[in-house]
Structure 1
Amino acid sequence: MNLFLELRKHGKLAEKRHPMYEKGKFGKFWMYFMGIFWAGYLIFFGTLFAFAFDGGAKEAYHVMNSGLIFVLALDFLLRLPFLKTPTQEVKPYLLLPIKRNRLIDFLLLRSALSSFNLLWLFLFVPFAIITVTKFYGIWGVFTYCVGIWLLILFNNYWYLLCRTLMDERIWWFLLPVAVYGGIAAALFLPDKSPLFAWSIDLGEGFITGDWLTFAGMLVAIAVMCLINRSIMQKLVYNELNKLEDTTVQVKRVSEYKFLDRYGEIGEYIRLELKLLLRNKVCRKSLYSITALVLILSLTISFSDIYDGGMRDFFMLYNYIIFGILFLSPLMSYEGNYIDGLMSRKESIYALLRAKYILYSLALIIPFALMIPGMITGKVSALMCTAWLLFIPGAVYCCMFQLAVYNNKTLDLNTKISSRQNVGTGMQNLISGAAFGVPLLLFFVLKTMFGKETAPWILIGIGIAFIATSKWWLRNVYCRFMKRRYKNLERFHDSRQK
């Protein structure tokens, strides 16, 4: 335990000494604000579900427990854009008499203590207080919430396993696809699925404090931890010894000759494509997000799982995930070669324009994948067009402001043994706002003007921002240049040594 406390102390000191610490404090304040907002949102739904499910043939908590599988699936999806694999700068500790396994254990423990694992309690605690206390008292509420936390903790390690494997080999995305596809088949193909009954019994075991249920959860969590530990230890060894550097060979080099006709902008689009496709971290992220968009598009188009209000949620998720993943660390990957970019006049402005054009064109991918849904009538063609124009307009305008403030270099090939990812409060704030604000705006417009008029308003806003993109990109560039020496120094300080 002393080692865990010492490592945590080192992490806190590293964060305070990091060049982005002052900016991180401001970002963390807004993260806490957004956290309070989403907590209130979940409390509202927990109270609403408690009264909505009451009065039926089953008790309200039985209805809620039957949907625990859906909560876990939603929790898995929400983690994808916001949570990465835990990291720790391992190299300095290898000179000390510390076992590598202990460092991996610290990463797993830190992941378990993440505040994200407590998020769903804001939904279940008020629900349990209203529905469980009248039958099982306060003790039933306590054991139920502890059981839910253990379930989310297991889901955290399951997500960590999938994310780690997908970061190494993109084909591992088939693992969660197979698991959730099998669960969906088991839920909806039989007339009376045993999984619903098992989910109800699991929640009942939590409420009654059944020791076998809690013991089973602890065993499942321990098994998942051991699997993660074994895999992460192997990956850390590979990263520190640079094993892939001696085994990977470039078989085909593409120069993207068709971009020559676009001059300087084409040259920087070529640079961005090489960044995405030739570096381990960027390439794995690109493949993972493309696979996720494909799965969600097919699910929305050919199933009834996301009918109702959830369809709007996941349709927006489909469009905005590219921007959240690649624009929130804007200029951070370029920190590895920022000196070369700064040596040419207005090269940063050309780079920003190239990024804007490329990631705006990337939205054609989710739009094309939603065409089957438009044909089957599952989604509205007008709504898809509205997001296609609104996101590269208004949302990307907000995301590109991060180019001014991001000044931490992100490693292009190291995942687990890199420095701890600190000082990203502003990134998380803007990423969360980029996802939450458009959805909230759409519901407000739909309530005020109707569902037929709201998409047209979003289209108008999007076109206005796209038409003025040169001006606000120029503004971002000028503000970046005013901070260029400060940012350049911090890019140098935060490079992986």
Structure 2
Amino acid sequence: MMILNELRKHGRLAAKRHPMYEKNKVAKILGYVMGAFWAGYLIFFGTTFAFGFSDMVPNREPYHVMNAVVLIFILALDFLLRVPLQKTPTQEVKPYLLLPVKRIRVIDFLLIRSGLSLFNLFWLFLFVPFSFITITKFFGISGVITYLIGILLLIIANNYWYLLCRTLINERIWWLLLPIAFYGGIGCLLFIPEDSPLFYFFMDLGDGYIQGNIFYFLGTILVIMLLWLINRKIMSGLIYAELAKVDDTQIQHVSEYKFFERYGEVGEYMRLELKMLLRNRRCKGALRNISIVIVAFSAALSFSSIYDGNLMTSFICVYNFAVFGMIILSQIMSFEGNYIDGLMSRKESIMSLLKAKYYTYSIGEIIPFILMIPAIIMNKLTLLGAFAWFFYTIGFIYFCFFQLAVYNKQTVPLNEKVTSRQNNSAIQMLVNFGAFGVPLILYSLLNALWGETITYTILLVIGIGFTLTSPLWIKNVYHRFMKRRYENMEGFRDSRQ
């Protein structure tokens, strides 16, 4: 217990010594405000579900519908939300491995910290009002409390399931089929056959939580312990393999991207950006995961009715266009922290680098736009809407992400994954949250006031405006970065591993 407490103190000291500490304090306050806003949304949905399920399925109680059908989809959504917001627990493993501390103790601490994360409590904003409205009239307050404890245990189990899947996917992309088969298989088996035993299993599971049946709680705790042990075993092995630095040195193919030569220095930096994305382990893994999520969401939007409706269509569009920036551009200049001294040795090289990044990632948005074409053909999305979200992303959203180039000053390793530090600062998470949440809020408000066509027109005008003025605000970012260059370079050097 003493070593766990000592590791916790080290984590707090690491946060205070973080190069972005001063910016993180302001970002955390704003993050709490945004979190409170989304908590209000979940409370609204929980109340709506409580009364809506009663009207939709009059022969069942609302909590039966929630437990038997909706719960698995909430867990699947929880899994998806963790992809951009939660990393695998890999804080400062290396230094402790050089000390007389058992590696497994460090991993245990990281897993404990993940299980106790406040993120696991967020869904209770939905379940608390829902359970108070639907359960108290039959089982009283005690039924509500035991039900919420059961739901919390399920979310913690989902957390460790996510960590396991994310760790395996980072090593081999084919492991992505595991969560797809798990959630997709359960979702299908709930309705096929018509009188599905899985349907009644989840209904009985929820009833067991409400009634305080100890066997259901013990079963859930057993699942958590099993996932804990599997995570522990796999992470320990991967950490050892990564520290051993056993790399394949055989080069099979080298792409030079010579067509960029015609674009001068900016073209050279575009070539450098592509090589960084496609050759380095960390960037390549992120790019691969992003591509799979975009393809899956685009297919779901185009060929199923799961995301029918204006709000859900906008959710998919914003996610598909903005997710690349959320994962890569939120860490702008942090990858370059590995070789920032070389970049600073040439006059105006940072300006050319920023332009190259903007052009590269703007061209990359053509891919999700193409994947949206089936949805346009199927009348799930208008052509105006697709163009509006495209230009809004490369205009306003990219404008927000590029501001981080001024403030990011922590180096992100290019090839290490399991043993690397936690690199997401609070200001990065806040910008990510805003890039995803603000467009949806803006769309909802404008659509309620003036309708879909005018809303998309306004978004398109905003996006085109920021796109056309990109040379101006990129130059502004460059000048602000140069004023802070020595402070940033010191942070990059201090945070290299």
2: distance between equivalents of 1:189 and 1:376? Answer: 26
Matching of residues 13-92 of structure 1 within 5 Å: 13-54=13-54, 56-65=58-67, 66-92=69-95
Match of 1:238 among 235, 241, 247: 241
Matched, 1:416 2:418: yes
- CA–CA separation in structure 2 for the residues paired with 1:319 and 1:197: 39
- C-alpha offsets along residues 237-294 of structure 1, whole Å, 9 cap, x if unaligned? 01211122xx342211111011111111111110111111111111101001101111
Output the CA distance in 2 between the equivalents of 1:491 and 1:380: 44
Deviations 1:349-394 (A, max 9, x none): 1111111111111111111112122222233222122111111111
CA contact (8 A) 1:187 1:195 kept: yes
String of CA shifts for 1:310-344, please: whole Å, max 9, x gaps. Answer: 23212221111111111111111110001111111
Q: Which residue of 1 aligns with 2:199?
A: 196
Corresponding position of 1:389: 391
What letter matches 1:105 in structure 2?
D
Give 1:189 deviation, angstroms. Answer: 4.4
On the 8 A contact 2:282/2:417 being kept in 1, the answer is yes
One-letter amino acid matched to 1:220:
V
Quick check: 2:72–2:187 contact (8 Å CA) kept in 1?
A: no
Look up the equivalent residue of 1:116 and give its one-letter code. F
Q: What is the correspondence of 1:90-129 to structure 2 with a 5 Å cutoff?
A: 90-129=93-132
Indicate if the aligned counterparts of 2:395 and 2:463 stay in contact, CA closer than 8 A: yes
Query: 3-state SS of the aligned residue for 1:416?
Result: coil
Q: Which residue of 2 is the match for residue 142 of structure 1?
A: 145
Which structure has more RCO (C-alpha within 8 Å, separation ≥ 6)? 1
Partner of 1:318: 320
Which residue number corresponds to residue 307 of structure 1? Answer: 308
1:330 pairs with one of 315, 318, 332: 332
Instruction: Output the CA distance in 1 between the equivalents of 2:367 and 2:197.
Output: 38
Give the equivalent residue in structure 1 for 2:348: 346
Offset from partner CA, 1:181-234 (integer Å, 9 cap, x none): 323432344334433322222211111111111111111111111111111001
SS at match of 1:328: helix
Letter in 2 for 1:234: G
Q: CA deviation at 1:51?
A: 2.4
What is the RMSD of the two structures over their aligned residues, measured on CA atoms? 1.5
SS at match of 2:328: helix
Unaligned residue ranges in structure 1 (runs of 5+)? none
Alpha-carbon contact 1:169-1:284 (below 8 Å) kept = no
What letter corresponds to residue 30 of structure 1 in structure 2?
L
| Matched residue, 2:226 | 223
* Letter in structure 1 aligned against 2:241: N
Contact 1:85 1:163 in 2 (8 A): yes
Which whole-Å CA distance do the structure 2 matches of 1:141 and 1:181 have between them? 29
Structure 2 residue matching 1:378: 3-state secondary structure = coil
Measured after TM superposition, the shift of residue 96 of structure 1 is: 2.9
Partner of 1:489: 490
Q: Which runs of 5+ in 2 are unaligned?
A: none
Give per-residue Cα distances to partners, 1:408-461, cap 9 Å, x unaligned.
111111122223436x01000011000000011111111111112211111111
Tell me how far apart the structure 2 counterparts of residues 57 and 276 of structure 1 sit (CA, whole Å). Answer: 54
Please name the residue that 1:2 is paired with.
Answer: 2
Aligned to 2:11: 11
Query: Which among 156, 161, 165 is matched to residue 162 of structure 1?
Result: 165
Moved more, 136-145 or 162-171: 162-171
Q: 1:227 & 1:479 partners in 2: Cα distance?
A: 47
The amino acid across from 1:483 in the alignment is R
Deviation at 1:36, TM superposition (A): 1.4
Whole-Å separation in 1 of the counterparts to 2:438 and 2:249:
43
Superposition pairs for residues 281-300 of structure 1, below 5 Å? 281-300=282-301
Partner of 1:453, secondary structure, is helix
Contact 2:165 2:179 in 1 (8 A): yes
Asked if residue 179 in structure 1 is aligned to residue 182 in structure 2, the reply is: yes
Contact residue 154 and residue 220 of structure 2 kept, 8 A: yes
Aligned AA for 1:316?
A: V
Which of the residues 188, 204, 216 maps onto 1:213? 216
Partner-residue secondary structure (3-state), 2:200: helix
Instruction: State the alpha-carbon separation in 2 of the partners of residues 325 and 208 from structure 1.
Output: 43
Q: What residue identity is the alignment partner of 2:392?
A: F
For 2:436, the equivalent position in structure 1 comes to 435
The one-letter amino acid of 2:93's match is V
Residues 88 and 167, structure 2, Cα contact 8 Å, conserved in 1 = yes
1:67, 1:196 within 8 Å by CA — same for their partners in 2? no
* Equivalent-residue separation in structure 2 for 1:457 and 1:325 (angstroms): 27
Matched position secondary structure for 1:67: helix
Question: Which shifted more, 15-24 or 438-447?
Answer: 15-24
User: Among 352, 367, 370, which residue is 2:369 paired with?
Assistant: 367
Give the fraction of aligned pairs with identical amino acids, expressed as a percent.
59
Contact 2:20–2:407, Cα closer than 8 Å, also in 1: no
Determine if contact 2:410/2:423 at 8 Å carries over to the other structure.
Answer: no
- Taking the aligned partners of 1:230 and 1:380, their CA distance within structure 2 comes to 49
Which moved further from structure 2: 102-111 or 44-53? 44-53
Query: SS of the residue aligned with 2:29?
Result: helix
Greater displacement, 37-46 / 477-486: 37-46
Find the aligned partners of 2:202 and 2:249 in 1 and give their Cα distance.
45
- Pair 1:185–1:51, CA change in 2 (3 A): closer
- The corresponding residue for 1:446 is 447
In 2, Cα distance between equivalents of 1:186 and 1:49: 23
* Secondary structure of residue in 1 paired with 2:435: helix
The CA distance in 2 between the partners of 1:364 and 1:140, in whole Å, is: 51
Distance in structure 1 (CA, Å) of the matches to 2:199 and 2:237: 38
